[in-house]
Amino acid sequence: MRQVVLDTETTGLEVQLGHRLVEIGAVEMVGRRPTGNNFHTYLNPERAIDEEASKVTGIKDEDLVDKPLFREKVEEFLNFIRGAELIIHNAAFDVGFLNAELRRAGSQYGQIADHATVLDTLAMARTMYPGQRNSLDALCKRLGVDNTHRDLHGGLLDAQLLADVYVAMTSGQVGLDFVFDANAENGSKAAFDDIVITRRPIVLRATDEEESLHTRRLDALDKAAGGQSIWRKLESDTVH
């Protein structure tokens, strides 16, 4: 399965007030592993950045004057995500902004849901860790993902961190259908109305090599135990 972990940065929090994208970062994964094929661009938002947004990202108005407009990058961006499962933390927020940019670029581009499916890791985390903080930083700390180099928010950096977080969260092969709510952190009702999220269960099966290594390990445990080890017995009981 081809997956694209995606994050955006914006001029402000409210898409319905005309705030725009200033950065898109996306990391490709195949078989749950980053391929090294990334998409990253800064964008000229054609408007000023809110002071608070600038403090969070470190991006200033003057940094974006010579950057491309979204409509100049839209084909490249859609080609990168097409057919993939997008993994986004607080998907309502990012997809709401992306859909707004697609509308500005032209009706022929449709919406994100026309090009890819979406998995919201915020909704996923709320299901797995109810009542706990589930920001990206909180999940990094909980799951042992090193984010000490994250002094500021950044599209590509945050996408890379989220890729590690997602792999850690799904290491137990969680197979649930997750849906975010309209009160998602930093999200909005307008963004919620723009998005359809789908999720299919992931089933990971051991390769022949992994099966062989497992058998050899059990053989070694049997030998050390001077007979059938408890692990061999448990495996036998499971099979029968």
Give catalytic residue positions: 153
Give the N- to C-terminal CA distance of the chain in Å, as an integer.
32
User: In this structure, what token pair is assigned to residue 198?
Assistant: 């789908």
**How many Cβ atoms are within 10 Å of 190's Cβ, its own excluded?**
16
* Residue 4 · residue 80 · CB < 8 Å: yes
- Nearest residue to 98 (alpha-carbon basis) of 44, 171, 154, 21: 21
**How many Cβ atoms are within 10 Å of 118's Cβ, its own excluded?**
23
Check the CA dihedral 73-79-80-81 and report its sign.
positive
Residue 227 region by backbone torsions, left for phi larger than 0, else alpha for psi between -120 and 50, else beta? left
Residue type present at position 77: F
Residue type present at position 96: G
Host H or E run for residue 23: strand 21-30
Angle at 29 between CA 63 and CA 3, to 5 degrees: 90
| CA distances for 165 relative to 147, 170, 220, angstroms | 10, 9, 34
